[in-house]
């Protein structure tokens, strides 16, 4: 997008005290949510984006690219495993550069689409890096090195996050990557070490293994994605193991050696690992260090994150913050709503909305994982008398037709009231399937019971039918 500069403002009796009602720093989902809501309310809004085009990390380095890569690899796996298309028993392959072409096209379309939203809603876009001079004045440093200032009544910080990169690892080495720079991978590795088995690490482990690359996944914890229902976590671990991913639990690095022809990872346990490249995916840091927060008396924590109240307001009354920069839940979908809620607080002085209590997780491994509500472990600890209904995908006609046989749906419900307490799904399209259960969980009273799935008529054959199968399976477990 073209760079737009703003001349210094000289307040006078005829002019308003500020150039803008609000300036939003960052154009990811959170920043977009703030800007769109304020603009539709008739406010004069500007967004400042330090990168060439809008969309933030979500569009350019995080959510969109990794999910586009995953989709391409998933289709490659499907093609190779389906005798209808491949009856020669010869495995087809794609290079990382080839699958990046698809991702690049999606990124470009998304950036253009998001840019059109700002234009259509008459939001001024400024290509610059912003920092505070005071609570109502921002310094703008443009790509050409020039600087100017902008004044505003309110500010929303939506600068997102970046991969955590410890100082003792040389990320300038051509074989050492983080989850942003991995998109610039320009050689074809045969072996990869993924350090960090969180959501990003597991997703990329799936992508690389799906391309036929040998993967070592180093996990600092004793199980993968320990926040998930244990049965789902175990399913992912088994699926990785069954597909040749080597998982090393309860390990941490001592040092990383970048060599000309390989990378050596030395572990605290004394083990040494070697691969063609290393992807370090151990946490993220909020993008606040460039904002000159000291100028307004704000201080980020050790992870670069800001504290906000229920209105998404920082300790500086006219400065708000949303998205990854405030921490949990660090989801693109949640960030957009946070932006809308912050805008409501800016407009009315108080936000009357909040994120839903049960936020769904969507993890784009191969196969996908998605869940909403309580896990079995949480319900057991809470001493809630629950029961379980399960449906194996391999028993569904639609899964048999599509040859997506791996996976299951699990419904947790109160054995006395039949209220739905949790939905957990592992398998292809899990992040879509979970929303059916989520919709019923959000209903009030008797509408939120497992009986809905028994009494409702589902299209046949569909993956949604798993809810009816799981509900009947669960109800069969109840006795007087």
Q: What does the alpha-carbon distance between residue 454 and residue 465 come to, in Å, rounded to a whole number?
A: 10
Decide if 256 contacts 232 (C-beta within 8 A).
no
pLDDT of residue 99: 86
pLDDT of residue 82: 77
pLDDT of residue 9: 43
Decide if 414 contacts 443 (C-beta within 8 A).
no
Asked whether residue 437 is marked as a ligand-binding residue, the answer is: no
pLDDT of residue 197: 97
Asked whether residue 49 is marked as a ligand-binding residue, the answer is: yes
Q: What does the alpha-carbon distance between residue 339 and residue 358 come to, in Å, rounded to a whole number?
A: 19
Q: Which CATH architecture has domain 367-475?
A: 2-Layer Sandwich (3.30)
Q: What does the alpha-carbon distance between residue 141 and residue 127 come to, in Å, rounded to a whole number?
A: 9
Q: How far is CA 457 from CA 3, 129, 408, 468, in A?
A: 54, 54, 20, 9
Decide if 276 contacts 208 (C-beta within 8 A).
no
pLDDT of residue 447: 86
- Domain spans in the chain, listed from the N-terminal domain onward: 20-162+285-348, 176-282, 367-475
Asked whether residue 58 is marked as a ligand-binding residue, the answer is: yes
Asked whether residue 53 is marked as a ligand-binding residue, the answer is: yes
Task: Read off the pLDDT of residues 243-290 as tens digits, 9 standing for 90 and up.
Answer: 999 999 999 999 999 999 999 999 999 999 999 999 999 999 999 999
This model's pTM is above 0.85: yes
CATH of 176-282, one of 3.40.50.150, 3.90.950.20, 1.10.3720.10, 3.50.50.60: 3.50.50.60
Q: What is the CA radius of gyration of the chain?
A: 24
Whether a cis peptide bond, with omega within 30° of 0, leads into 110 is no
For 294, which DSSP code? Answer: G
Q: Which residues contact 435 (CB under 8 A, 6 or more apart)?
A: 360
Q: What does the alpha-carbon distance between residue 406 and residue 409 come to, in Å, rounded to a whole number?
A: 11
pLDDT of residue 126: 97
Asked whether residue 239 is marked as a ligand-binding residue, the answer is: no
Asked whether residue 378 is marked as a ligand-binding residue, the answer is: no
Element (H, E) at 253: strand 253-258
Pairing of strands 147-157, 319-321: parallel
Q: What does the alpha-carbon distance between residue 335 and residue 320 come to, in Å, rounded to a whole number?
A: 13
Decide if 24 contacts 31 (C-beta within 8 A).
yes
282 Rama class: left (phi>0) / alpha (psi -120 to 50) / beta: beta
- Structure token pair of residue 341: 């809620």
- Give me the helices (H) in 96-150, please: 96-120
Asked whether residue 480 is marked as a ligand-binding residue, the answer is: no
20-162+285-348 and 367-475, same CATH topology? no
Task: Read off the pLDDT of residues 6-24 as tens digits, 9 standing for 90 and up.
Answer: 544 444 445 679 999 999 9
pLDDT of residue 89: 63
Q: List the chain residues with pLDDT less than 70.
A: 1-15, 86-90
Decide if 276 contacts 190 (C-beta within 8 A).
yes
Q: Which superfamily, per CATH, for 20-162+285-348?
A: FAD/NAD(P)-binding domain (3.50.50.60)
């Amino acid at each position: 997008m073209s760079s737009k500069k703003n001349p210094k403002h000289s307040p006078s009796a005829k002019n308003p005290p500020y150039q803008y009602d609000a300036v939003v720093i960052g154009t990811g989902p959170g920043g977009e949510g703030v800007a769109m809501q304020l603009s539709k309310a008739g406010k004069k809004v500007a967004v400042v984006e330090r990168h060439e085009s809008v969309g933030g990390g979500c569009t350019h380095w995080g959510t969109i690219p990794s999910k586009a890569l995953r989709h391409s690899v998933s289709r490659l796996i499907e093609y190779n495993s389906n005798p209808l298309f491949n009856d020669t028993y010869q495995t087809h392959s794609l290079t990382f550069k080839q699958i990046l072409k698809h991702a690049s096209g999606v990124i470009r379309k998304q950036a253009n689409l998001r840019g059109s939203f700002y234009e259509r809603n008459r939001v001024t876009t400024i290509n610059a890096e912003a920092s505070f001079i005071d609570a109502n004045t921002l310094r703008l440093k443009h790509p050409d090195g020039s600087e100017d200032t902008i004044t505003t009544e309110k500010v929303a910080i939506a600068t997102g996050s970046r991969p955590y990169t410890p100082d003792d690892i040389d990320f300038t080495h051509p074989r050492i990557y983080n989850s942003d720079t991995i998109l610039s991978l320009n050689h074809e590795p045969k072996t990869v070490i993924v350090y960090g088995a969180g959501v990003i690490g597991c997703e990329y482990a799936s992508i690389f293994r799906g391309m036929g690359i040998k993967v070592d996944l180093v996990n600092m914890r004793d199980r993968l994605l320990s926040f998930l229902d244990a049965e789902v976590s175990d399913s992912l671990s088994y699926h990785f193991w069954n597909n040749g991913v080597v998982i090393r639990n309860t390990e941490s690095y001592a040092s990383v050696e970048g060599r000309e022809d390989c990378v050596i990872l030395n572990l605290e346990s004394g083990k040494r690992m070697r691969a063609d490249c290393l992807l370090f995916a151990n946490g993220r840091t909020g993008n606040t260090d460039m904002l000159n927060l000291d100028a307004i008396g704000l201080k980020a924590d050790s992870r670069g994150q800001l504290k906000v109240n229920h209105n998404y307001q920082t300790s500086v009354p006219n400065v708000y913050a949303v998205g990854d920069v405030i921490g949990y839940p660090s989801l693109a979908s949640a960030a957009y709503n946070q932006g809308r809620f912050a805008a409501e607080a800016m407009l009315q002085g108080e936000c009357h909305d909040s994120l839903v209590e049960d936020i769904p997780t969507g993890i784009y491994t191969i196969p996908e994982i998605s869940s909403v509500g309580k896990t079995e472990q949480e319900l057991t600890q809470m001493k809630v008398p629950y029961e379980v209904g399960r449906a194996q995908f391999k028993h569904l006609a639609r899964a048999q037709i599509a040859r997506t046989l791996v996976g299951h749906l699990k419904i947790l419900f109160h054995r006395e009231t039949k209220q739905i307490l949790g939905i957990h799904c592992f398998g292809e399209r899990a992040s879509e399937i979970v929303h059916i259960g989520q919709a019923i969980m959000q209903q009030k009273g008797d509408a939120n019971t497992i009986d809905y799935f028994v009494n409702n008529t589902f299209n046949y054959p569909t993956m949604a039918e798993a809810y009816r199968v799981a509900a009947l399976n669960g109800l069969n477990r109840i006795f007087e």
